[in-house]
């Protein structure tokens, strides 16, 4: 019989906060807090897939 063991959490010294400020995230994703413009929303599935 096998048992599943959850991995132990990383030590505080090993983990870093990898969150980005929202403004930087929106810039990197080329979007805004209000979402994509209609034209860009229509273009992305063609560029990146469904």
Q: What is the spatial distance between Cα 9 and Cα 5, in angstroms, rounded to a whole number?
A: 12
Structural domain includes residue 37: yes
Task: Kindly state whether residue 13 falls inside one of the protein's structural domains.
Answer: no
Residue 38 lies inside a defined structural domain of this protein? yes
Residue 41 lies in a domain: yes
pLDDT digits (tens, 9 = 90+) for 1-49: 667 788 777 666 666 778 889 999 999 988 999 999 999 999 989 998 8
Q: Is residue 8 part of a domain?
A: no
14 in a structural domain: no
Q: Which residue has the tokens 């090993």?
A: 14
Dmax over CA atoms of the chain, in Å, equals 55
Domain presence at residue 27 = yes
**Contact criterion met (CB below 8 Å) for 29 and 21:** no
Domain span at residue 25? Answer: 20-50
Predicted structure pTM score: 0.48
In a domain, 35, yes or no: yes
CA 28, distance to chain mean position in Å, is 11
Let me know: does 33 contact 26? Beta carbons within 8 Å: yes
């Amino acid at each position: 019989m096998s048992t599943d063991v959850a991995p132990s959490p990383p030590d505080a010294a090993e983990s870093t906060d990898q969150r980005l400020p929202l403004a930087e995230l929106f810039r990197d994703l080329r979007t805004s807090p209000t979402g994509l413009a209609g034209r860009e929303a229509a273009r992305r599935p063609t560029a990146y897939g469904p």
